Every structure is written in structure tokens, then in C-alpha cells.
Amino acid sequence: MNILLAPDSFKNSLSAKDVCKNLEIGIKGKNPKIKITKVPLADGGEGTVESIISAIGGKRFTEFVLDPLQKRIKASYGIFADNKTVVIEMATASGLTLLPISEQNPCNTTTYGTGELIRKVIEKGYKNIILGLGDSATTDGGAGALQALGVDLLDKDEKNITLGGLHLKELKKIELKDKVDKYKDINLKILYDVENPLIGENGTSKVYAKQKGANKQEIKLLEKNLKNFAALVKKNLNLDISTFKGSGAAGGLGAGLSILFNTSFVSGSQYIINNTKLISKIDDADIVVTGEGELNSQTKFGKIPLKVAKIAKEKNKKVIGIFGKVNAKEEYAEYFDQIISLSAEKISIKESMQNAKKLLIKSIGSIDLSF
């Protein structure tokens, strides 16, 4: 029997690589003769650099940048083995996991650090950049990143607006100056983790700002601010950044960067699936195990466990989904033969996150390994 382990990370708990490791321990404990293939995945968010570099080859490096609340931190990025392409995951500079829960609020957070990271690799001479969007602490439309890259976002007094999603309401004018010419040779491939647009009912504020710490009133304000930003971009630059697929990923970071760079938007999960040769590995498997921190109503917007499950089901494979928390089991039942939650009734989310390694190993006991 060959079991393919193809999970995403369990946010705030375990990397995809660690999830694979602990699932393997559980499976080998149940039957040491089972062959196991491990493919740690990502969808543009946390773990993207690790997944791509592991599959393609390359090295990781770090730079000092500002975190979402403007504290100096080290953020990592990867350089392909051919030394021509850089891969960045914005989560290492502007991610939600960088902040304690008490400090999470997209009104105050900024993507400035991600912009610094992009600027620094450009200054090193790299022209091909892959940017993974996902797991962000921000809803600033990429305004902070643009400012780090030299774009002036001016208020009524011709001064740059303060960093943070709250202050987009003060934006009156966008000045690119010579920056478009400066960056004209840069190719920016953006890997979005979700397909949501920038604004609207399925937009970034209404769907994701709550999980980043915003209350109902702040969500309305952030939506209004992003509408203001998009309207100014359309007026000043004749570009519509409000509705295209993936423009709402990472609080709109890709939407903002699209006004400055030669950008292409692709599904992060599909990019990872292609570059890890996952489909051929599914072909060779008898059982496919995937999962991530939570299965919920947002999973359908492009999350990788569902994509893995759909591919495996099309090939008539048995599919097991293991999640830290399950909030939408019936919605996805047709894609999984079994859905397992690590958060049982007697265990809190916090406890399950703290004990994720043990719970993953234990979860194998409830899996039917026959096929």
C-alpha cells in the first residue's frame, strides 16, 4: 500500500513538513510496511518558500524588514538553484502569526515590510520574483508595500498617508513618479491563496478582516477605504484593481502591486501542485491524506486541501482529510471518504494546537487504511 501525505500547514501550530512527519509516525506505528510519500504543500501563504525550494531546489536567505506593526524583524525568502528567480512569501514579513492575538487588527497593520523585502531583492539584481500571498495580518490594499517601493500615497496636505488600513481613507492622490520605468523590467508572479476580489460581498474585508482582528464597524470602514483606493487608482491610472480573481488575497496586496509591476496572477495551490509533480504522485497512491488548520466555508475559495481532494477523487483514490478544526463537514463530504477533526468536543482549539503533534499521530488510529 502506498499512502501520499499532501497537507498544507496547520497555521500557528505546525509546518506542512512537520504535519507530514507526524502523520508518518502514526501510520508506521499502525503498519510499518506501508510505503509513504510526503509532499508538504502550500497555497501562497505560510510554507510557500519551503514547499517551492524543496521541490525545485535553492537556498533560503533573510533580510531585516518591518513587521505588520513596524517592529524590525528578520524575514526569509528563497533563491532558486539557477540564481535567477526569487520566491517570497509575504507571511514572513506581514503575516498574522507574527503578532499576538491582542495586537491583531487590520486597521493598524501594514504590508510595508513585504515591500521592503521586494525592494531589497530587486536591489540585489533579481528581476524574476514569485510572491506568495496568504496568511496576512493586513487589509491595506498593498499601500504599505507601495510606499516601501517609493510610491507616494498623498493626503490632502500632499503628505504620505500613515501606514495601516485605517488611513487609506485619507488618500487623495497617487504619485508613481519614475517608479514604473524603474521597475519595468521586473516580472512579478503573484500566487494567490484565495480567489476573492478586492471589494464586494466576497471581498477581502467582508470575508477575512474579522479573522485578522477587525470588528463589524472596522470591517465596514476597511471596505469603504479599499473602495476609495480602487477608485483613485482607476481615476489616476486608468486601472481597475477591484474585481479580478485574487485581487483580495492578503488584504489586497496583489491589487496594489499590480499598479507598479508587470504582474501575472496565478493560483498558488495550482502552482505548487504543478511544481511538486503532485498529480503523478497521486496516480501512484492508494490513499491520499491532506488537510490544514481548518476546514470552513472559505476553503472553497482556492485552499489547497480541497484542490488535492478533487484531483484525487477524479482519479478514484481514497481521500482522507485531517484538520485542526472542522466547521463545514457536509459542504465538502463528497470530496473526502473521511474527515477528521483534531478538536474533539472535550478539547479546546488552543489545546489541540498545543498538542497537534500527538493528536496527528493519534488521528491515524481512526483512519481506515483499507482500500
The CATH number that applies at residue 361 is 3.40.50.10350
116 and 198 assigned to the same domain: yes
75 and 200 assigned to the same domain: yes
Does residue 371 belong to any structural domain of this protein? Answer: no
Calculated CA dihedral for residues 231, 233, 235, 238, nearest 10 degrees: -130
Least confident window among 199-203, 208-212, 234-238, 313-317: 234-238
Residue 231 contacts by C-beta under 8 Å, 6 or more apart in sequence?
Answer: none
> Do 85 and 187 meet the contact criterion of CB atoms below 8 Å apart?
no
Query: Residue 219 sits in a domain of what CATH number?
Result: 3.90.1510.10
Question: At residue 348, does pLDDT exceed 90?
Answer: no
Question: At residue 371, does pLDDT exceed 70?
Answer: no
82 and 111 assigned to the same domain: yes
Q: What is the pLDDT of residues 218-242, one digit of tens each?
A: 999 999 999 999 999 999 899 999 9
Domain boundary among 254, 270, 286: 270
Neighbours of 160 (CB within 10 A): 16
pLDDT band for position 350 (cuts 50, 70, 90): confident
Say what the pLDDT of residue 316 is.
Answer: 96
Question: At residue 344, does pLDDT exceed 80?
Answer: no
Does residue 325 belong to any structural domain of this protein? Answer: yes
Say what the pLDDT of residue 352 is.
Answer: 75
pTM for the whole structure: 0.90
pLDDT band for position 346 (cuts 50, 70, 90): low
Domain boundary among 235, 270, 305: 270
Does residue 161 belong to any structural domain of this protein? Answer: yes
Question: At residue 345, does pLDDT exceed 70?
Answer: no
180 and 251 assigned to the same domain: yes
Q: What is the pLDDT of residues 167-196, one digit of tens each?
A: 999 999 999 988 889 999 999 999 999 999
Does residue 119 belong to any structural domain of this protein? Answer: yes
249 and 298 assigned to the same domain: no
> Do 193 and 270 meet the contact criterion of CB atoms below 8 Å apart?
no
The number of distinct structural domains making up the chain is: 2
Q: What is the pLDDT of residues 68-121, one digit of tens each?
A: 999 999 999 999 999 999 999 999 999 999 999 999 999 999 999 999 999 999
Domain boundary among 270, 295, 322: 270
pLDDT band for position 13 (cuts 50, 70, 90): confident
Write out the residue range of the structural domain in which residue 71 sits. 48-270
